[in-house]
Structure 1
Amino acid sequence: MTRHQKRSGARRTWLTLLTALGTLAGAALAGAAPADAAAWTTVAAGVTYRHYDLRAAAGVTRVHVLGVDLTRAHVRLGLLYPGKVAARSAVSSMADARKAVAAVNGDFFNISETQHPGVTATGASVGPAIANGRVLKGAVPDAQRFGPELPPGTTTRAVVGVGTDGRARLDTLALTGTITAFRRRLPLGGLNQYALPVGSIGAFTSDWGSASRLRATCGTDTSRAAACSTSTYEVTLRRGRVVSASATPGGGSIPAGTTVLVGREAGARHLKALTMGERVTVRHRPVSGSGMAYRFAMGGCPLLRGGQPLPGLDARVSAVRTAVGIADGGRRVILLALDGALPYRGGTTIAEVAAALRNLGATEGFNLDGGGSSTLVARPAGSTRVTVRNHPSAGTERPVANGIGVFTR
């Protein structure tokens, strides 16, 4: 048998196994009646959809699944977002705007600010984000995240993405950067983030949007609810030179070619030393744990590694969930969202989501935002627009910070 024949045979075996496992997933986890193997429908070449019922600890829930074959040269995954980091939009709207054939919602985000009177939620996501190879934002400090508690040993820098090699994987993505002004070099503490580390300086660009930058100076590295800093400073750079400064972070759109530096505590003191007209250079780049460069990446929470659930996954709290599974060495991706309709709203625990992904053939798994955010959309046959396949638990789609789009050429 030739190498090509072996590879083709392996692909057919994987597809057959995925279909079989998807059919039996409910039974494997909780004894639900196996669904018909013919339940998989084609969304586009290399993209399939199905749903099945699963009996979990909180009762029967409905699972919606997209299967994505990245071995097809015309199939790819990409970041969906509203065009700005600090903005929100419905998954279906973002998918149609980008001509995606299917999509799910993405990372957790800054949804509320009840603990900081006078501060408005930005809508920006928690973790890093890369779109078409371009870094949009960095990760907030671990204690400043929204969403369920992180499993031991994980961080807000965790991402799921597709590298320049065309394979999906789990990784970590840190931001490294510098601010250089007149023989002084300072570390860059963040990029387009709704929360900055204590004592740091963050950069905001035209990718941020019009939301106030005040939230970036609230909370601490150990408490999201901690008060906003009383020592802040903001400097605006246009074409690399200081053109204005303020003691309080502002808001409003940032024009292209302009960077706003926001400092808190020690970072604020460093910014106050800059003078009008002074030349300042800001540089940054992403550094992945694997050394891989990414075309697309977004934040969330790891669930599975090497086919095994991460230790410490919550097995008590049930909710509607969205998750990503990776199989076949990153060549196949499973996008999963639970149904939020009343009969199924009990959902699953995070540990049960990890088990569901593994039963669908995934060896790596990643948890995304859930509850009212959980949304899975796909185009019906012959349509150029997506429809929502699950039922959002609030009755309508919740505007979210970003999502994973499935694209075909």
Structure 2
Amino acid sequence: MTVPHARSRTVVALLLAWCALALGLAPGAGAATDPAVWEELAPGVAYRSFERTASHGPVRVHLVSVDLRAEGVEVDLLYPGAVAAREPLSRLADARGAIAGVNGDFFNISEVQHPGVEATGAPVGPAIGGGRELKAAVPTGQRFGPALPPGTGTREVFGVGVDHRARMGRLALDGTVTDPAGSFPLGGLNQYALPVGAVGVFTADWGGASRGRAVCGTDADRAAPCASETYEVTVRGGRVVEVAERPGRGPVAEGTEVLVGREAGARRLRELTVGDRVRVRHRLVEEGSGVPYRFAVGGFPVLRDGAALPGLDTVTAAVRTAAGITPGGRGLLLMALDGAPGLRAGMTMAEVAGLLAASGASEGFSLDGGGSSTLVGRAPGDPAVTVRNHPSGGVERPVPNGIGVLSRR
């Protein structure tokens, strides 16, 4: 395949050279496994798949390369229109007219430790879509997913800034609640888990799922019991309009904010009465460049400056999804392993980091894997995307978000 634009051709040439060396693939290995067989999805966007043998057995790798310098190419968050909702990736991609994509963040998939509490389906980390800040990160002890590399946590994000450059970073919540008695910190934004003693806010972006999960577990233990001391305050038009002893459920209307408190946070909210004026302020703040994200999704880093992070798991293999950034932040790699029988031996986190580096990435980021791992692509002229890998569960698992590649050409 010929990839248009000189810079795109350069990126692909480097990818092929690195992969041929690092993966031990010989020229002429055959169409099913030859990394030189690329399918152009749009100018600056290409897809390929190939097989290799990892430490636990054979795997098939599905890879999309994205040149962010190509005219009309954009990357954004795919999600169902609500934080606490899930849909198959192919449906999310088609709803946005995406030409390619992979599944995104780990999420609140089950609540076996809390009988009677429903899983929200909400993602673990921060999320920004189209420049809109949708949610902040849950406490690290409340996350779902494999063990984190040392020194990382739930605030880690992979995204693209308003400068059209990709990067990894950390996003923290900066917020306050101001009422007649003064101001106090806001501890959560559309999160399925709030820090102990905190007050969090739920907006129309949350969706209709129950807010009850937000007061269960602790900062260090996801399975800890739900808080016995809770309170909920509904604010509309800057005034308290309703109060309740327990968190509720159902959609939050535009222009309405629902404050949920646990322990000390609940006691603070109890001081409010219907009619009181309340102002809620929140934003996501990055530790680093200061360039605002147009899109960001949660997960955790596995590769920095071309080197695997210390402490990555070298033993446990699984079907994985990951994203990489080429030097300078002008190119992306989206990767998912296949879940088909005979090809789903999986890779360790250390192997994923090595694969991304061998494919030309200097930075790498792990996304949700296992039954969630999905990569989609749409060929020119096709009305919809197709799932390019085989999900390990046999069908697409509904997911809360994903990374979508869009093209205006």
1:364 alignment partner in structure 2? 363
* CA–CA separation in structure 1 for the residues paired with 2:200 and 2:245: 15
Amino acid at match of 2:183: R
1:277-316 paired onto structure 2 within 5 Å: 277-290=275-288, 291-316=290-315
* CA–CA separation in structure 2 for the residues paired with 1:37 and 1:316: 26
Query: How many Å apart are 1:37 and its aligned residue?
Result: 5.0
1:186-265 paired onto structure 2 within 5 Å: 186-265=184-263
TM-score computed with the length of structure 2 as normaliser: 0.95
1:134 alignment partner in structure 2? 132
Q: Does 1:322 align with 2:324?
A: no
* 2:108–2:119 CA contact under 8 A, matched in 1: yes
* 1:19–1:40 CA contact under 8 A, matched in 2: no
Query: How many Å apart are 1:9 and its aligned residue?
Result: 7.0
Query: How many Å apart are 1:42 and its aligned residue?
Result: 0.2
Amino acid at match of 2:317: S
Q: Does 1:351 align with 2:340?
A: no
1:17 alignment partner in structure 2? 14
Query: How many Å apart are 1:203 and its aligned residue?
Result: 0.1
1:407 alignment partner in structure 2? 406
1:70 alignment partner in structure 2? 68
* CA–CA separation in structure 2 for the residues paired with 1:79 and 1:310: 25
Amino acid at match of 2:159: G
Pair 1:216–1:38, CA change in 2 (3 A): same
* 1:128–1:136 CA contact under 8 A, matched in 2: yes
Query: How many Å apart are 1:41 and its aligned residue?
Result: 0.9
Amino acid at match of 2:11: W
Tell me the C-alpha RMSD between the 2 structures.
Answer: 1.6
Query: How many Å apart are 1:60 and its aligned residue?
Result: 0.6
* CA–CA separation in structure 2 for the residues paired with 1:281 and 1:50: 50
- Secondary structure of 2:355's match? helix
Q: Which of the residues 90, 95, 117 maps onto 2:88? A: 90
* CA–CA separation in structure 2 for the residues paired with 1:206 and 1:324: 29
* CA–CA separation in structure 1 for the residues paired with 2:56 and 2:291: 39
Query: How many Å apart are 1:267 and its aligned residue?
Result: 0.2
* 1:238–1:258 CA contact under 8 A, matched in 2: yes
2:271 alignment partner in structure 1? 273
Pair 1:67–1:289, CA change in 2 (3 A): same
Which region of structure 1 is more displaced relative to structure 2, 91-100 or 179-188? 179-188
Query: How many Å apart are 1:346 and its aligned residue?
Result: 1.2
* CA–CA separation in structure 1 for the residues paired with 2:200 and 2:370: 31
1:165-184 paired onto structure 2 within 5 Å: 165-184=163-182
* 1:90–1:397 CA contact under 8 A, matched in 2: yes
2:337 alignment partner in structure 1? 338
1:83-122 CA-partner distances (Å, limit 9, x unpaired): 0000000000000011001110000000000000100000
* 1:375–1:391 CA contact under 8 A, matched in 2: yes
* 2:8–2:44 CA contact under 8 A, matched in 1: no
Q: Does 1:383 align with 2:379?
A: no
**Which runs of 5 or more residues in structure 2 are unaligned?**
none
Q: Which of the residues 119, 138, 146 maps onto 2:117? A: 119
1:110-168 CA-partner distances (Å, limit 9, x unpaired): 00000001000000000000011110000000000000011100010000000111000
* 1:26–1:52 CA contact under 8 A, matched in 2: no
* CA–CA separation in structure 2 for the residues paired with 1:370 and 1:327: 22
**Which runs of 5 or more residues in structure 1 are unaligned?**
1-7
Query: How many Å apart are 1:11 and its aligned residue?
Result: 6.0
* 1:157–1:173 CA contact under 8 A, matched in 2: yes
- Secondary structure of 1:19's match? helix
Q: Does 1:145 align with 2:143?
A: yes
* CA–CA separation in structure 1 for the residues paired with 2:109 and 2:244: 27
* 2:45–2:67 CA contact under 8 A, matched in 1: yes
Which is helix-richer, 1 or 2?
A: 1
